[in-house]
Structure 1
Amino acid sequence: MTTVTETAADDVTEPDGAPVLSHPAAAERQVLLERWAERHGIAAARRLAEAEDLADAVAAEITPDNTVDTYAKSWRVWRRFCAAAGLPELEGSRGALVAFVTWMLREGQQNGKGYAPSSASTHLAAAVVGLRERGVKVSGDDQAEARVALEGLAVKLLQAGERRGRGQAVGADLDGLRAVARACPDTLTGLRDKALVLTGFHYACRSQDPAGLLTGDVTLRPRGLVVAVLTGKTKHSVRNAKIRYADDPEICPVRAYVAYRARLVDEHGPRWADPSTPAFVGIDRWGHVTGGVGPDSVTRAIKRISQRAGVPIAWTGHSLRIGLASTARRAGRDGIAIADQGGWARHSRSMLGYMQIDDGWDDNAAAGLT
């Protein structure tokens, strides 16, 4: 048989010459291929099939790793639901989707407890993606009805006094930053911790951002640091963030970073000044450098650092990001400038939500009416 593309060895042609795909996308794409063959001929249909394969490859390449992980986890949740309910995995009917969200809220976790509505919403969206990737047709109306059911059941939980999930992480603030700076010991680990928190706050980092930084991504300029954030999830979050010298030397992110890097090179050699080495390194209990740090290590470090400083509510990996938005807003900074610094889309809903922590008191429709 004649192959349709070199990249899909199992793609074949019908006896009449119309391309047929036998990989998982075949059921969804076959009608298009037959239509292309009728309209434009076999050769053009093959080229269009190759373009579809290229589009799939590009989509896979630009999908963030954490999104891929979420899809995989959600598909496992969907499979557990189907096994529990006795339903076929490759059917995404209205009833199956509504039953899925109901099951998730009531007993979906592996420990038998229900998911938080936000988690259930994520799993629903990702499960639908998984179904469609496997050639299952899921109508927008059916998915929308499942989401309406989810929202309605979530309201019932609130009315019953049941609040699930951890809620929004607490944001870092200036008092917390000062406490962190004072609690960091004068060791390489302490200097690294101080630099990690102070710089991360000033560019509203996610945990993966400092984990992905190389030495060459952080450059010292006359007015401060320029941090090339290359691990962002969107075109807005991939950016060159500028961090100025602070008026207060105690919590100056630029001084903290310079001091940390100087100690690292002094104690462990000039190779750590190479632009290809990690900007933030792992350090064991004996002071040995273990290499770079991962996002989970950054998250654990931020929690540990805040607890050591006696911050009333321990920070999470997202606290620095929330803190920049809320603190800058409280100081009167323009929303667009905050978005650009932190890598949000301008007028981002999540950024505005962080700002609402403070705006809810000052920019309040009921304030001063009585």
Structure 2
Amino acid sequence: MLEAAAAGDAPTPGSAPVPPDPAAAERQALIERWAQRHGIDAARRLAEAEDLADAVAAEITPGNTVDTYAKSWRVWTRFCTVSKLPEREASRGALVAFVAWMLREGQQNGTGYAPTSADTHLAGTVTGLRQRGVAVSGDDQAAARKALAGLEVKLLQAGERRGRGQAVGADIDGLRTLARACPDTLTGDRDKALTLTGFHYASRSQDPAGLLTGDVALHPRGLVVAVLTGKTKHSVRNAKISYTDDFEICPVRAWTAYRTRLVAEHGEQWADPSTPAFVGIDQWGHITGGMGPDSVTRAIKRISTRAGVPIAWTGHSLRIGLASVARRKGRDGIAIAKQGGWAPHSKVLAGYLEVVDQWEDNALLGVL
């Protein structure tokens, strides 16, 4: 018999026995079947290939996805504790009971989750179960999703709308208001560059946070921004940002002014391609390092609040705004998807465009 690919430490005398790992046991059984069919050497090489596949999967899974899976598993374990159900079983009844519990009382404070959050945790839990060697039937998972959809309808019929809903999208008038409200300081120049460039490539909060100075290149027609923080082959891209006729909200001029001022006030080291593109700045004007996704989100909200926009923007407002504004100007969905890093037939993008189309392409528009 071949040794297990990853053997655990032997229990010390008197200690509690370590519960068997179903995933490890399943892997060992698979290796033994390979050995019987192909011989020990071939089985060992196949096992090494499996280890490589696991390593590749871990390497390409975004960090925030890993965090979501971990959080979903914690929600599942709380449910199993409350319901006195085994963690490593995924029957139809258990999964349906799980979604009902999440909507009823699943949050730590005893209130129910929004249906979108419950859907995310269901998906993360199924992934977590499969990672632990638990077979999850597609039919059982479908039953849980059908129950979730039906319970969401019941909530809506009862007048209960949970969750924050879709963030308000940025628009051109809002960008002008924000630009005018930015003070004549390095912080003001950074805020202006952050919002104007972010709008033009439909940024998520993690995108500007992940940019280095060398990722933003000047071009005779504008800027080329290497967005490397996306989750898909479509979102990892070189976004093109053109000069605009309106100097007040031109992203290229805003970026150039911000970077020129940063180097002039804090030294040539900030021109190094390996430095953060957008820096944190404290109330005394000191550089605190690169901005993280959370600080970008807070900055967008603070900038919009300072400008007095009716509804404060969030870290997703710039992304929604590009799609909405471009659609209202008659841009094709494929061109919008390419600029913003969506897949050509993205359901998320289709939802943004549908909001615009319901008004612009209304069947009775101009009829009455």
Whole-angstrom CA distance in 1 between matches of 2:366 and 2:183? 46
Question: Residue deviations 1:249-268, cap 9 Å, x none?
Answer: 00000000000000000000
Query: Is 2:179 aligned against 1:200?
Result: no
Query: Is 2:294 aligned against 1:325?
Result: no
2:335 aligned to 329, 334, 337, which one? 337
Whole-angstrom CA distance in 1 between matches of 2:156 and 2:85? 30
Gaps of at least 5 residues in structure 1 are 12-21
2:233 aligned to 232, 235, 248, which one? 235
Whole-angstrom CA distance in 2 between matches of 1:24 and 1:320? 45
Which amino acid in structure 1 is aligned with residue 201 of structure 2?
Y
Whole-angstrom CA distance in 2 between matches of 1:162 and 1:23? 42
Task: Report the equivalent of 2:44.
Answer: 46
Contact 1:101 1:120 survives alignment (8 Å): yes
SS in 1 for 2:238: strand
Question: How much does 1:365 deviate?
Answer: 3.6
Which amino acid in structure 1 is aligned with residue 193 of structure 2?
A
SS in 2 for 1:25: helix
Whole-angstrom CA distance in 2 between matches of 1:112 and 1:237? 37
Question: Residue deviations 1:197-240, cap 9 Å, x none?
Answer: 00000000000000000000001111100000000111100000
Query: Is 2:76 aligned against 1:69?
Result: no
Contact 2:2 2:31 survives alignment (8 Å): no
Contact 1:10 1:23 survives alignment (8 Å): no
Question: How much does 1:368 deviate?
Answer: 4.9
Whole-angstrom CA distance in 2 between matches of 1:145 and 1:109? 22
Whole-angstrom CA distance in 2 between matches of 1:97 and 1:240? 42
Question: How much does 1:36 deviate?
Answer: 2.2
Task: Report the equivalent of 1:163.
Answer: 161
Question: Residue deviations 1:118-156, cap 9 Å, x none?
Answer: 000000010111111111111111111111111111111
Question: How much does 1:42 deviate?
Answer: 1.9
Query: Is 2:102 aligned against 1:132?
Result: no
Question: Residue deviations 1:66-98, cap 9 Å, x none?
Answer: 000100111111111111111111111111111
SS in 1 for 2:184: coil
Whole-angstrom CA distance in 1 between matches of 2:242 and 2:350? 24
Question: How much does 1:35 deviate?
Answer: 3.2
Number of residue equivalences: 358
Whole-angstrom CA distance in 2 between matches of 1:334 and 1:28? 49
Task: Report the equivalent of 2:179.
Answer: 181
1:103 aligned to 97, 101, 108, which one? 101
Q: Quickly say closer, same or farther: Cα 1:296–1:102, change in 2 above 3 A.
A: same
Whole-angstrom CA distance in 1 between matches of 2:25 and 2:333? 47
Question: Residue deviations 1:19-58, cap 9 Å, x none?
Answer: xxx8652243345333322322221111111111110110
CA RMSD of aligned residues (A): 1.6
Whole-angstrom CA distance in 1 between matches of 2:265 and 2:136? 59
Task: Report the equivalent of 1:142.
Answer: 140
Query: Is 2:54 aligned against 1:56?
Result: yes
Q: Percent identity?
A: 80
Question: How much does 1:366 deviate?
Answer: 4.5
Matches within 5 A, 1:248-267: 248-267=246-265
Which amino acid in structure 2 is aligned with residue 293 of structure 1?
M
1:300 aligned to 298, 308, 312, which one? 298
Whole-angstrom CA distance in 2 between matches of 1:9 and 1:26? 9
Whole-angstrom CA distance in 1 between matches of 2:313 and 2:226? 24
Contact 2:21 2:132 survives alignment (8 Å): no
Q: Quickly say closer, same or farther: Cα 1:185–1:62, change in 2 above 3 A.
A: same
Whole-angstrom CA distance in 2 between matches of 1:91 and 1:348? 33
Task: Report the equivalent of 2:17.
Answer: none
Q: Quickly say closer, same or farther: Cα 1:266–1:366, change in 2 above 3 A.
A: same
Whole-angstrom CA distance in 2 between matches of 1:356 and 1:331? 14
Question: How much does 1:108 deviate?
Answer: 0.5
Task: Report the equivalent of 1:94.
Answer: 92
SS in 2 for 1:92: coil
Which amino acid in structure 1 is aligned with residue 42 of structure 2?
A
Whole-angstrom CA distance in 1 between matches of 2:257 and 2:366? 48
Contact 1:181 1:251 survives alignment (8 Å): yes
Whole-angstrom CA distance in 2 between matches of 1:258 and 1:24? 56
Question: How much does 1:334 deviate?
Answer: 1.8
Which amino acid in structure 2 is aligned with residue 248 of structure 1?
D
Contact 2:2 2:40 survives alignment (8 Å): no
